[in-house]
Structure 1
Amino acid sequence: MQSVGSRFMTKPPTFERVAARAVAALACSLACATASHAQTFPAKPILLILPTAPGGPVDIVARIVAPEAAKLLGQPIVMENRPGASQKIGIHSMLRAPRDGYTLATLSPASATINPLVDRNVGYDPLKDFTLLSQAVGHPAVVTVHPSVPVRSLQELVAYAKANPGKLAYGSGGNGTSLQFSTSELLMKLGITAVHVPYKSDGPALNDLLGGQINLMMPALAAVKPALEAGRLVPLAISGTSRSPHLPNVPTYGETGIAELKDYSYRVWIGFAAGAGIPEEAARRLQDAFMRAPHAPAVRRSLEANEFEVIASTAQQFARELHTELDRNRKVIASGAITIE
């Protein structure tokens, strides 16, 4: 008869069994750690740096989109305006922060496709030093003249400029700004010239257009809409790919009948980015949130009320747009229309 002890005796574990259990335990622990890491981003508030002063397009878009992105991420997004040095101060603040996904910045043509070309000391490469999240919105420009200019279409503007060399003067917010680039590129395509009058910002330039001190400008639709509705300025064409519901009778570039503009369009855009090299999971979560946020009904309504068109691109689409715009701006510089200091 077997004793109780002998009935419950087991064979001592072999080396193979011990090793198998150790491997299984390690695999389980690694899987749990990976799952835990994936679920922990973001584990604290995120800082979004706005490299412009409060109240401008970059500031407006960020304060509409970021709260919705925060809901999707489950953590607050704290916004700080850090303007100065043509947006370099804010962008450098983001790039100096730890590359952990907790410091972001808004991007625009000024910071991403102009400064890197015109400022030899910009200190970053937009195609290498950013983790692009999403190109959130865009807004078209309106080719606008003072009523004293005897033209009412883009074709008439071309004829007038060729018949009256030196009489057209356009304004922008300064040398090397997106407004100067977009106007120079259009004039180049049309084969005409105009004197560039740089101002400290777009606002004073628009005021002088209203006063007749300059006679041509390509302001954003939101900025010029009240003056157009009051008949104080004359719209000739809109730079987007489709007509604006606010200016249904104003043709797009492609609708003007000018061959050089058939497949041409332009829009000012605003997007979001982090520094290059952030963790892959952080990049994925951030890209998803900032791509989805502009599509939320309340966010879309607010953006459209401010004359912005929702783009909400993927990071890959954003990168392609940067490549294209950088190439276009290099051609404008090569034409001699813009001088690099």
Structure 2
Amino acid sequence: MDPRQEIINIGKQLHDQGLLVRTWGNISCRLDKNRILITPSGIQYEDLTPEMIAEVNLGDLSWEGKCKPSSELLVHVACYNTRSDIRFIIHTHQVFATVAGSLGVKEIRAMVDGDDVRIPCAPYALPGTRKLADNVKKTIQKYKSDNGIVMSNHGTICMGTISDEALECAMEMEEASKLFLHGYCHMDIESEFIEGFSSHINSGSIIYDKPDTPYRIKRMHEEIYAKRPDVRYIVHNKSQACKIVSRRATHMKPLLDDFAQLVGTSVRIPINHHGHDGNRIIVKKNVNAVFSLDDGAFCLGQTKDDAYATALVLDKACIAQIAASRYGSANFLSYRDCLKMNRHYRNSYSKLAKR
């Protein structure tokens, strides 16, 4: 099979499995000892075509192709240069492995079908940086026999001598991470999107997706649009994790890179104190989630796709928030790093996804 088409096929399989969403994650394939193919930045996997996949020189990082290589190119290069046997690499932001990798652990361990599965965790560094690539390289050198690692607070690296091996690695890592979270955090929460009452702006008017949207919810939507004129879509996520956080938490600090990028540097959550009826919401500039007491969260975007992407990321972040509270510790991201990622996403990466 043509290696470019193989990358596309694996991307579709990962998308169908829920392990790759939107433009998040990337895939690469070794052509020979000096060259690799890698997916581009900001292209949704459903839209990926062979000519969009760049060819990169492992030595000087020069590249050829229609589209710029993935922003995580340095991580892929570090993996290939450290593991000469590896031919295929998948990087995902899959839910449970990423959540487990935000708890500050050095290894994720679980018994899967009678096998003791070990997943090393590389120390955190900002995405796309040389520091992250160096951390991944050191982790691979330490755990030479492991094909899967978690980049803390970020996502996974799944390696294989063939594409199916890397795909199987991704699925095994997710299963092991779910079992780890169940054992250490007593977590039995599924990643999901349960839509409540959503809306959008059309010709200056608010259009509600459901005709039976309650008046209380309409008032909240009106307040959000009034305070955030940049927002044109509101998606209401009532997933189990979002509802738990909306009921029990008062503040969300980022545990995950993509939360900092899409949602914001922190989110305040209203609480029902001193007789308030739960109608209070907190709307902030550049914070794309608005929690409603015991009713999940409204996820904001300039486009419908943006709002739904925020809803998916927020659900994962809420699972991480719950896991951290039950585990008793976690590796929260610094405000400075979150601000840097949020600004970069708003100013550059999100625009790539809209092309």
TM-score normalized with structure 2 length:
0.27
More helix by share: 1
TM-score by length of 1: 0.27
Higher RCO (CA 8 Å, separation ≥ 6 residues) = 1
